[in-house]
Amino acid sequence: MYRFRTGRERAPSHRWRAAGLTAVVLGFLLVPAPARATEPSCQELDFPVTLVAVPQTMHATLCVPAGGANTVQVLLPGGTYNSSYWDVQYEPEIRSFRRAMNGAGYATLALDRLGTGRSSTPPSALLTTITEAAAVHQVIQALRSGDQGPGFGKVILGGHSFGSGTAIVEAATFHDVDGVLVTGLAHRLNLEGTLRVFAATYPALLDPEFAGDGYDPGYLTTLPDTRYSIFHAPGSKVDGAIAFDESTKDTSAYTQAADLFPVGIIAPYSLLIDKPVMIALGQDTVFCGLLATDCSSAAGIKNSEALYYSPAAELSAYALQGYGHAINYAPNAPDYFQAVAEWADRKVGR
């Protein structure tokens, strides 16, 4: 049996609807028409998928710029994150990737990975990087066909951390996207930083946020008050941003790491990707270091990663200075957002 997350829903659109018709009327009366026209339209969607032949549902928030868009960015969060990573609500004008991409003319579909957010939660034994990539493929097919309503001519698949590993496996296997954005992941690991992250996790059923929600022992989350040290350092500690991260933390399955590391990271499976790829990294304690990835500059990242991608990937790179693993939270994230939008314009188009 699988279940739907209901206890920790954090959907701004649901709160907006709860405000009622009065707010709608006041909005029309008080907001000038030109201002309304610049705002993207957002809606909650549920995509039926199968995971190892078992029916599941992947929940997502689709936001489309005013005037529409032909290209959608499908966004996969990392381990112990959900779709809120792509729309950080602490100083969103600085930290919301979704907001920046909509402003640049791209639609965004921020997915809750299976087992997180408002997606269904299957038995953890069914969840691996490969099986989740197959589920994401089904979502992409629905977006291209318009079977679930909205349809798009082009798809950019973007990921963060574990989500990037899933994006690599999906793009290399199914060849159904027009570009791949890899953030918070590289092929050369900093072993000390990786072990520090795993040391800061424990079974989700032991966490007060998840206890009693029906998670089996194969689901993990982060220990309380550890997210700054493992995901944000060496960046400045902004209390509001870290509080938002801690309050929206989610789960992953231990089994997802079983093939993430050998297939998505260590093996050169990414050589099979035949569309443009951009890699963005901060001063990541999981992937950067003397014997790991050179994250000192875009050129350093590109040189470290070039062996793992074919010429068809037309590899691009961006180095975000002064922050750690969760680069959407960086005070200088707008520079990285702009670089992503420029890459998408150049390599894929709106």
Residue 24 has pLDDT above 80, yes or no: no
Q: Cα dist. 9→78, 164, 229 in Å?
A: 18, 24, 26
CATH number at residue 48: 3.40.50.1820
pLDDT bin (cut points 50, 70, 90) of residue 287 is very high
Lowest mean pLDDT among 2-16, 59-73, 122-136, 168-182: 2-16
**Whole-number pLDDT of residue 27:** 38
8-state DSSP, 70: S
Alpha-carbon distance of 124 to 109, in angstroms, equals 24
Helix (H, G, I), strand (E, B) or coil at 294: coil
Nearest to 231 by CA among 88, 60, 58, 59: 88
Do 80 and 222 meet the contact criterion of CB atoms below 8 Å apart? yes
State pLDDT tens for residues 137-162.
999 999 999 988 889 999 999 999 99
Q: How many other β-carbons are positioned within 10 Å of the β-carbon of residue 227?
A: 23
Percent of the chain with pLDDT over 90: 85
Lowest mean pLDDT: which of 16-30, 45-59, 305-319? 16-30
Query: Cα–chain-centroid distance for residue 190?
Result: 21
If you average pLDDT over every residue of the chain, what do you get? Answer: 90
Identify whether the C-beta of residue 157 lies closer than 8 Å to the C-beta of residue 172.
Answer: no
Q: Residue 209 above 50 pLDDT?
A: yes
Judged by DSSP in three states, 305 sits in helix
> Which residues is 3 bridged to in the sheet?
121
Query: The whole model's pTM is what?
Result: 0.89
Residue 279: both structure tokens together: 């890699």
Of the CA atoms within 13 Å of residue 263, those in its CB half-sphere come to 22
pLDDT category at 37 given cuts 50, 70, 90 is low
User: Residue 19: pLDDT band by 50, 70, 90 thresholds?
Assistant: very low
Summarised one tens digit per residue, pLDDT across range 299-312 is 999 999 999 999 99
pLDDT at 26 over 80: no
- Quick one: tokens of 323? 């922050």
Side by side, the strands of the sheet bearing 219-222 are 201-203, 219-222, 252-253
Mean pLDDT of 119-146: 97
How many structural domains is the chain composed of?
1
Q: Residues 309-337: what's their mean pLDDT?
A: 98
Both structure tokens of 157:
């698949």
Look at residue 240 in the predicted model and tell me its pLDDT.
98
- Contact between 223 and 214 under an 8 Å Cβ cutoff? The reply is no
Estimate the crossing angle of helix 162-174 against helix 129-145, to 10 degrees: 60
pLDDT of residue 163: 98
What pLDDT, on a 0 to 100 scale, did the predictor assign at position 190?
A: 95
**What's the domain range around 142?**
3-347
Q: Does the pLDDT at position 7 exceed 90?
A: no
